[in-house]
Structure 1
């Protein structure tokens, strides 16, 4: 299923109705229906162009931010490469001797790179998708059913909390791993009994 990030509105340019009075008759007398439809269509085309312009502004703004972040990262990497190249040229392998004991005394290298966590969250959501998300219907009031639950858990959390689904998936994976380990243990025991 496609995930809509941006929607250009109005979708139907020429679709429109005249306001009706209490009797169901047109409230406004239109001298020329063709002129009325043309004016309405033109107004909706202008609204579509405005919506398109807004989305283009958001899109190019996000692209500019990504490009700026990329340039910053590339500059930081180039600086690190330059410092490393300077250190390498200053090294002299004939002068400095390192004993094997000194090598084993040093701590192992540990990377200081911080990995992104929770990449798919509201903070990283594009602006267009955030607008679509906020336009969605609110979840049903399942928390009103909490007094009737036997397990004491929040009913709404079962359907709206992404952490719940992660925990559910993690429990299933742990069960599968335990089952595989038990199966391996049974097979190993069976083979040992034959020898």
Structure 2
């Protein structure tokens, strides 16, 4: 199932009841439909704006990464130009001598961490998380209750208190709309 990031509102253009005191019901329906179509266009425009702002942010990140690669290639090009193979001493020997070497070439790879942070989310997903933060579940005979399931791993301290839950544990407002399909 595709991940719905944006939904255009209102979903239905003409499905409302017509008030009884209306003289011309056809004109009323056409006005309601026109108003809802304009609301849909406004919603679509808002989503287009967020999509282009996300695109701008991604292009900026790609530009920064490209500049870093260009700088690195310039440095490597300079090192290759400085290299003189005639001055470099090539060790002659066999595997026994090679195994006695203590300083072998070693490359350090930096591990990228914290890739999926709240600040790296697209704007549309951030808005969905804000909507999910405000959802509650209605239980018959009780007041509104929020249900949250938090895993506690064995390595964590038993005295640790969970005050700020991440909104991934909550159901989105769009769930009712998505479940209709």
TM-score, with normalisation over the residues of structure 2?
0.63
Whether the aligned pair in 2 keeps the contact of 1:4 and 1:129 (CA below 8 Å) is no
Counterpart of 1:124 (choices 117, 120, 127) is 120
Work out whether residues 10 and 47 of structure 1, in 8 Å CA contact, stay in contact via their aligned partners in 2: yes
Would you say the 8 A contact 2:129–2:167 is kept in 1? no
Is 1:115 the counterpart of 2:107 in the alignment?
no
Answer whether contact 1:14 1:37 (CA < 8 A) is retained: yes
Whether the aligned pair in 2 keeps the contact of 1:58 and 1:127 (CA below 8 Å) is yes
Tell me the residue number matched to 1:183.
Answer: none
Assess, with a 3 A threshold, how the Cα gap between structure 1 residues 87 and 118 changes in structure 2: closer, same or farther. Answer: closer
Task: Mark the structure with the bigger radius of gyration.
Answer: 1
Tell me the C-alpha RMSD between the 2 structures.
3.5
Q: CA deviation at 1:8?
A: 0.2
Matches within 5 A, 1:11-90: 11-18=11-18, 26=20, 29-90=21-82
CA distance in 1, matches of 2:81, 2:18: 81
Equivalence map 1:2-17=2 (5 Å): 2-17=2-17
| Unpaired runs of at least 5, structure 1 | 20-25, 144-151, 163-195
1:148 paired residue number: none
Contact 2:18 2:28 in 1 (8 A): no
Q: Which has the higher helix share?
A: 1
Specify the SS of the correspondent of 1:17.
Answer: coil
CA drift of 1:95 comes to 1.9
Aligned equivalents of 2:3, 2:85: Cα separation in 1? 58
SS in 1 for 2:106: coil
Matched, 1:134 2:130: yes
Listed as ranges, the gaps of 5+ residues in structure 2 are 92-96, 138-144, 149-157, 169-181
Is 2:22–2:28's contact at 8 Å kept on the other side of the alignment?
A: yes
Whether the 8 Å contact between 1:6 and 1:55 is mirrored in structure 2 is yes
